[in-house]
Amino acid sequence: MTRHNDPSKPTALDQITLRSPAELADALPYLMGFHPDDSIVLVALHGDHGRFGGRLRLGIPAGPREWPYVAEQLADCLVSGSEKRASRPDGIIVFLCQDPSAGKKGRDVMERLRPLAQRLRTACGALDVPVLEALCISDGRFWSYCCPDVRCCPTDGTPLALPGTSAMAAAAAYAGIQVRGSLRDMEARLSPLTASTSAVAAQEEALDAATAELVPRILGGVDRNTVRMETLVLVRGLVERFVRTPVSGGATEADAVDDGLVGDEEAAAIILGLQDRMTRDRAAEWMEGPDAQAALRVWRAIARRCVGAFGDHAAAPLTLAGWVAMSTGDEPTARVALGMALRVDPDYLFAKLLHQGANEGLDPEVLRECLRRERDTRVARRPARMAAQPPAGRPRGRTRPGGHAGRRRERARGRTGQRRT
């Protein structure tokens, strides 16, 4: 579940008056920062003029048996959260967003989700907060569950406005608010590679080898600090490499460029190294300035390399991606990344704390300042000859099997006598 808080100050969007279901449907991506496909979205309204307040999103449960419980929990969460932050809502807008499956139409989706819409209306009403509008958005059209007038809400639905043509779109552009595609697209940029079977197999082989080599060193304790330094040197090298390689074009093209900058063994060593909490916390220091956007690209690329049996290792790079996005003001990306981290590991404490902080409107500067102090203290304690940041150690570019790396992997396997399963 993801909450989106009230903006701390009025924005250009607050000056737009929405008078119809069509305008509400058009406004949803700008309120969320992305198209929330396959989602329930609740938006709180405050005051006589219906000022937008807190927002809450949850994936639509597949089983209708879950709908009554989910409806009650969502209604209670939005109302109680609004009371803690500001005031009790005076009304709620409900959106149900889901595209039809093969052979179905948007109207089929609307009818199938009608009981869920009714459950949400009843749950909100039980808390004395009325649902003023409930919309289903599917297949480029929308339907109102509240308006019986077919003149404005026909049974076949109403086409959504063309992107960028509404007053809401103009106000969002003026305010610098971006819509980052669909939720599905955003999650794809953080999900394990699947396009090439050979590439996935090569990465999983590299992860097996890194496990055999690094885990005994980490668990043994004696070599743990050395592994930490090696991991951070690799991360620094990647960040510098990404800084020197700006990307252009769409997300798919940009991610393909980034994937080509990371070697399989390099990614494997970083993934294993980040499982150490202290290493991960040190890596979180790449959070601001010219390195921040490069670091976000790095963590996305590393999360994509958590393939096969190593999917649970993605919690660390996903959380770091969420933290960098949060630190740079990209709240939609932060919420998606942190939500995915908690999906991988619901008990991952760093992700839980950041997710809670995002939901409660925590100023990221509080954590940034803490990380700066820790870094400054650490640097001050070093001997003078070690005060500089470590160099970017290993060769740049993709590491290929064979040579020294291949022999090192074979020696590692010989020592352990087994591969990770």
Q: If you write DSSP's letter for every residue of 354-410 in order, what string do you get?
A: HHHHHHTT--HHHHHHHHHHHHHHHHHHS-GGG-SPPP--SPSS---SSHHHHHHHH
What's the pTM?
0.78
In contact, 57 and 98? CB cutoff 8 Å: no
Report the pLDDT value the prediction gives residue 290, as an integer from 0 to 100: 84
Kindly list the distances between the CA atom of residue 207 and the CA atoms of 84, 151, 204, 215, 306, in Å, as whole numbers in the listed order.
Answer: 45, 60, 5, 11, 9
- Within 10 angstroms of residue 234's Cβ, the number of other Cβ atoms is 21
Report the pLDDT value the prediction gives residue 217, as an integer from 0 to 100: 87
Q: Which 8-state DSSP code applies to residue 401? A: S
Same domain, yes or no: 267 and 394: yes
Residue 360 in domain:
yes
Give the separation between CA 323 and CA 361, rounded to whole angstroms. 14
Residue 53 in domain:
yes
Residue with tokens 């959380």: 319
Same domain, yes or no: 346 and 309: yes
In contact, 135 and 24? CB cutoff 8 Å: yes
Same domain, yes or no: 109 and 29: yes
Residue 358 in domain:
yes
180, amino acid identity: R
Domain boundary among 163, 182, 201: 182
Give the separation between CA 283 and CA 390, rounded to whole angstroms. 13
Which residues constitute the domain of residue 412?
A: 189-416
Q: List the CATH number of the domain containing 74.
A: 3.40.140.10
Residue with tokens 């890194």: 210
Q: Count CA within 13 A, CB hemisphere, residue 153.
A: 20
Domain boundary among 182, 204, 238: 182
Kindly report the backbone phi and psi dihedral angles of residue 141, in degrees, each rounded to the nearest multiple of 5, phi listed first.
-135, 170
Residues in a beta bridge with 52: 45
In contact, 317 and 189? CB cutoff 8 Å: no
Same domain, yes or no: 118 and 234: no
Q: Which 8-state DSSP code applies to residue 35? A: B
Kindly report the backbone phi and psi dihedral angles of residue 134, in degrees, each rounded to the nearest multiple of 5, phi listed first.
-135, 120
Residue 38 in domain:
yes
Q: If you write DSSP's letter for every residue of 77-142 in order, what string do you get?
A: HHHHHHHHHS---SEEEEEEE----TT--HHHHHHHHHHHHHHHHHHHHHTT--EEEEEEEETTEE
Residue with tokens 């459950």: 119
Same domain, yes or no: 234 and 362: yes
In contact, 267 and 205? CB cutoff 8 Å: no
Residue 421 in domain:
no
Give how many domains the chain has, as a whole number. Answer: 2
The bridge status of strand 131-138 relative to strand 91-97 is parallel
Tokens of 57: 């999103």
Residue 411 in domain:
yes
Give the separation between CA 127 and CA 125, rounded to whole angstroms. 5
Tokens of 101: 């499956």
**421 residues of the chain, pLDDT tens digit each:** 666 655 444 444 555 667 688 888 888 888 888 999 999 999 999 988 788 888 899 999 988 999 999 999 999 999 998 888 778 999 999 999 999 999 999 999 999 999 999 999 999 999 999 999 999 999 999 999 998 888 888 989 999 877 665 666 666 665 666 778 899 999 999 999 986 778 899 999 999 999 999 988 888 777 889 999 999 999 999 999 999 998 888 899 999 999 999 999 999 999 999 999 999 999 999 999 889 999 999 999 999 999 999 999 999 999 999 999 999 999 889 999 999 999 999 999 999 999 988 877 788 999 999 999 999 998 888 765 444 454 443 333 334 333 334 434 443 333 333 333 3
Same domain, yes or no: 293 and 210: yes
Residues in a beta bridge with 158: 142
Residue 149 in domain:
yes
Count of helices and strands (H, E) across the chain: 16, 7
Residue with tokens 């087994």: 418
In contact, 357 and 383? CB cutoff 8 Å: no
Report the pLDDT value the prediction gives residue 256, as an integer from 0 to 100: 93
Report the pLDDT value the prediction gives residue 398, as an integer from 0 to 100: 39
Report the pLDDT value the prediction gives residue 21, as an integer from 0 to 100: 85
SS (H, E, C) 149-184: CCCCCCCCCEECCCCCCCHHHHHHHHHCCCCCCEHH
Same domain, yes or no: 178 and 201: no
Report the pLDDT value the prediction gives residue 417, as an integer from 0 to 100: 38
Same domain, yes or no: 228 and 350: yes
Same domain, yes or no: 217 and 130: no
Q: If you write DSSP's letter for every residue of 240-308 in order, what string do you get?
A: HHHHTS---S-HHHHHHHHHHTS-HHHHHHHHHHTTSHHHHHHHTT--SGGGHHHHHHHHHHHHHT--G
160, amino acid identity: L
Q: Is the dihedral of CA 259, 261, 263, 269 positive or negative?
A: negative
In contact, 420 and 211? CB cutoff 8 Å: yes
Q: Is the dihedral of CA 266, 338, 254, 183 positive or negative?
A: positive
Same domain, yes or no: 297 and 392: yes
Same domain, yes or no: 151 and 204: no
What three-state secondary structure class fits 379?
helix
Same domain, yes or no: 382 and 325: yes
Residue 132 in domain:
yes
Domain boundary among 182, 198, 213: 182
What three-state secondary structure class fits 58?
strand
